[in-house]
């Protein structure tokens, strides 16, 4: 028989916007919160490399059900790179694999290559990454010296721009689709220049819909047990970019039974609701009931359940 998951009377249900420090892994940060506050049901939406810092969305309790709806959103980063060498991990924490001559490289060339990120639609996944091959993370294969398969993924880049270039260093800002490897962007820049490049630092400024200005530093969270609950965003408020509607007790009962609900019964005043829109549905006491999406059946629009949140 499988081991029964641990439960805690102190378990919170909501989202903690964490300002992850550079150094520990995302899992290390979650384990610290789990141990300190007995938050045994915990997860994160969109991991950050150990070197990286910034916005890490921590999901607690029932809010772990929100994972698919928080991980897929655009991200915004600022960071720095240096040209003239490459490493196996594409950042300064890896083993050096190449050094290149930068005597012919100009600041304008580096600026141009950063702007060129905006035209990229795909990238190579780093060998040292958590991407899976036959059920195993690529980094496990790489650390054992085994050959890692080349994986190409589709990406979307927007607003990539240089912030400051002073050779051999450059600072940049980039917005991108979820799952984009900024290390790979830096590596590709070095390859195009022919001299190599590595990522020196990285900060996630946004994991939409949340920004760094809303995030709490890990050390401050861990040092303030009395204030922990106040830092957790309730599930009902955790998707601020979605519609929010409150339903009657009778409609709530129907939703819990899996019924689809006519759009006008949930939001009679919303005449501009179209197919494919999503909403956080609340019970009369304000607690989260379900995530729902509009779909058309027999030329009528209904709310259907994406994920139940009751219980």
The residues assigned a catalytic role are 49
Residue 55, both tokens: 């916005």
Residue 35, both tokens: 């141990």
> For residues 142 and 49, what is the distance between their CA atoms, to the nearest angstrom?
16
Q: Is the dihedral of CA 8, 9, 10, 11 positive or negative?
A: positive
Distance from chain centroid for Cα 96:
29
66 in Cβ contact with 42 (< 8 Å):
no
DSSP conformation letters of 260-305? -EEHHHH-TT-TT--TT-EEEEE-TTS-EEEEEEEEEETTEEEEEE
> For residues 102 and 294, what is the distance between their CA atoms, to the nearest angstrom?
55
CB neighbours of residue 80 within 10 Å? 17
Give the bridge partners for 14, in sequence order: 60, 234
> For residues 110 and 114, what is the distance between their CA atoms, to the nearest angstrom?
6
Q: Is the dihedral of CA 212, 214, 20, 71 positive or negative?
A: negative
DSSP conformation letters of 117-171? GGG--EEEPPSSSS-EETTEEHHHHHHTT------EEE--EEEEEEEEEETTEEE
């Amino acid at each position: 028989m499988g081991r029964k998951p641990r439960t805690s009377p102190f378990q919170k249900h909501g989202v903690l916007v964490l300002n992850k420090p550079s150094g520990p892994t995302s899992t290390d940060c979650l384990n610290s919160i789990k141990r300190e506050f007995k938050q045994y049901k915990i997860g994160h939406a969109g991991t950050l490399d150990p070197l990286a810092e910034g916005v890490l969305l921590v999901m607690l309790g029932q809010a772990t059900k929100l994972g698919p709806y928080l991980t897929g959103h655009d991200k915004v980063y600022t960071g720095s790179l240096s040209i003239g060498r490459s490493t196996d991990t594409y950042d300064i924490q890896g083993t050096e694999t190449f050094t290149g001559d930068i005597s012919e490289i100009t600041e304008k060339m580096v600026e141009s290559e950063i702007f060129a990120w905006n035209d990229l639609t795909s990238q190579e996944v780093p060998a040292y990454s958590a991407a899976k091959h036959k059920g195993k993370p690529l980094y496990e294969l790489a650390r054992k010296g085994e050959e890692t398969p080349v994986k190409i993924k589709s990406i979307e880049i927007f607003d990539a721009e240089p912030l400051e270039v002073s050779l051999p260093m450059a600072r940049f800002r980039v917005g991108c689709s979820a799952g984009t490897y900024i290390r790979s962007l830096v590596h590709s820049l070095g390859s195009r220049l022919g001299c190599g490049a590595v990522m020196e630092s990285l900060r996630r400024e946004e994991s939409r819909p949340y920004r760094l200005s809303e995030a709490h530093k890990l050390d401050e969270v861990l040092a303030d047990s009395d204030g922990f609950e106040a830092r957790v965003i309730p599930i009902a408020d955790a998707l601020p970019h979605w519609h929010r509607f409150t339903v009657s007790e009778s409609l709530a009962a129907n939703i819990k039974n899996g019924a689809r609900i006519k759009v006008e019964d949930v939001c009679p005043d919303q005449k501009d609701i179209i197919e494919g829109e999503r909403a956080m549905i609340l019970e009369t006491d304000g607690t989260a009931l379900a995530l729902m999406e509009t779909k058309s059946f027999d030329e009528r629009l209904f709310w259907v359940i994406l994920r139940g949140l009751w219980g």
